[in-house]
A and B are shown apart, each in its own frame.
Chain A
Amino acid sequence: MAVAIVLVLVVITALAFDFTNGFHDTGNAMATSIATGALPPKVAVALSGVLNLVGAFLSLSVAATIASGLVDTKLVTLTVVFAGLIGGIVWNLMTWFLGIPSSSSHALIGGVVGATIAAAGFGGVQWQNLVSKVIIPAGLSPIIAGIVATVGTYLIYRISRGVAAGVRDRGFRIGQIGSASMVSLAHGTNDAQKTMGIITLALITSGALPAGSKAPFWVVLTCALAISLGTYLGGWRVIRTLGKGLVEIESPQGMAAESSSAAVILLSSSFGYSLSTTHVATGSILGTGIGKKGAEVRWGVAGRMATAWLFTLPAAAIVGAVSFFIANFIGGTAGVIVMFLVLIAIALLIYLRSRKTAVHAGNVNEEWTGGVAPPQRETASSTSA
């Protein structure tokens, strides 16, 4: 009975993570289409949501777990998974509140690594794999995506110089929507799988499924729904930063950015590297700013993001570790329940705080003035720039 309660809470928490994963990453695919007006904001998030749903069902063989190869899976208990998820969710919510696109995958990995360290010490982590499979690809991927997008943008503007403005805009909007759809599809496949893997891992750990099982259908279904619902909700704060904050984007640039993102994500995952969609998308958008003559790139915003990326793994790890310590200190089912309530309280607090500077479909494209939220109500952080 006690195990059943813990298992149910872990599954719910995993789906909650999947949900935050969805709305945190909507902008990766759709921010550029929204910013250029290729799609109305609501239509864009709906399209992305549907494509994430489809994407989640597309790939049939679900990877067993995100943690394999990074931590010693023999040490992973339900409480470790649970604490790791809390680390991921809390970091996702905080960066969403600040409007910073940061990697949901890194948040999850960080949380699980932190919880493992708390449970079994530093020896439980496979550090070289962590560096070579997670940290180095994370450093390289935005640069590669940025180069591709820079070249793409340069070529597109070069080639289409003589094309009448009307034709050009209409054409590139179609291209933009198509390429953004590819990113959404790839996102659904990659990211929903991570949660499917986590839930399957939890089911196996608790003995509900035999070792080596594939994800049962209800897991695939609930994960697909959670990520697409999250996507449909739209992380407007992150969308705004990516679409308006980093670079002022026109539709040819949007198409270049999304094509670059789709190509880099698909290529590298077929080579066995699971990259963060966020890192790739951000690098691409920066690249289109560099590739277009006279475009303004806000390096300050980019720097803020890069800083947040550096902190993602350790910060999520700390939250994961602390969650594990508290849950473990209280012990057993009670510990997990207490941490679950704490998580709800934190999420509610961040949500309520975000209402004061709400960003939504109606104001997501307002002129960028330095802060995440448009200046309908001045906050301390907003400076005119």
Chain B
Amino acid sequence: MNSWINLSAVGLILGLGLVFGAGLPALFAVGLRVLSTSAPTSEGPASDGASAIGPRAVGPARMAVAVICFAIVVVAIAAGIYLIVRQS
């Protein structure tokens, strides 16, 4: 049966798929959560616009964590594009 299904490849794709396909959006969510200052109090009106997620309301530590999260996501996207370019 092993000539029909390459189980290790399936496992690898599932494993890495979980890391990148589920892990990265989760990281993105962490970034958003950190940026949205302690949830209930910051629930500004919709008209608040971009300032709701602006640095004004967010401390430096949170900002740093958010930047790291988003940076990792951006780097992963760049790696993905590299994969597209490189593959035949």
Contact = CB atoms under 8 A, between A and B. Distances in A.
Interface of A: 55, 58-63, 128, 131-132, 136, 140, 144-145, 147-149, 151-152, 155-156, 159-160, 162-168, 170-172, 175, 178-179, 182, 185-186, 189, 252, 255-256, 259-264, 266-271, 273
Contacts of A164: 36, 39, 42-44, 52
B32 A185 contact: no
A172 B32 contact: yes
B53 interface: yes
A59 B25 contact: no
B49 to A, nearest CB: 9
B41 to A, nearest CB: 10
A271 B4 contact: no
Interface in B9-48: 9-10, 12-14, 16-18, 20-26, 28-33, 35-36, 38-40, 42-46, 48
A159 B38 CA distance: 13
B82 to A, nearest CB: 10
B85 A163 contact: no
A182 B21 contact: no
Contacts, number: 154
A155 B14 contact: no
B65 to A, nearest CB: 13
Q: What is the interface of chain A mostly: helix, strand, loop, or mixed?
A: helix
Given A267-B13, A270-B87, A273-B9, A159 B44 contact: no
B44 A166 contact: yes
Contact of B32 (A62, A168, A263): A168
Nearest to A261: B21
Contact of B53 (A144, A170, A172, A186): A170
B77 interface: yes
Contact of B36 (A168, A179, A266): A168
B55 interface: no
Contact of A131 (B4, B9, B25, B48): B4
B29 A155 contact: yes
17 contacts: A132-B3, A147-B18, A148-B18, A151-B22, A155-B22, A160-B32, A164-B39, A164-B52, A171-B28, A171-B32, A179-B25, A252-B29, A259-B25, A260-B22, A263-B16, A266-B83, A269-B83
Given A159-B29, A166-B46, A259-B22, A61 B52 contact: no
Contact of A268 (B13, B48, B53): B13
B13 A144 contact: yes
A121 B40 CA distance: 69
A55 B87 CA distance: 12
In this complex, which of B25, B31, B43 has the most chain A Cβ atoms within 10 angstroms of its Cβ? B25
B25 A255 contact: yes
B39 A259 contact: no
Contacts of A131: 4
A166 B52 contact: yes
B39 A159 contact: no
A167 B36 contact: yes
A65 to B, nearest CB: 13
A167 B25 contact: no
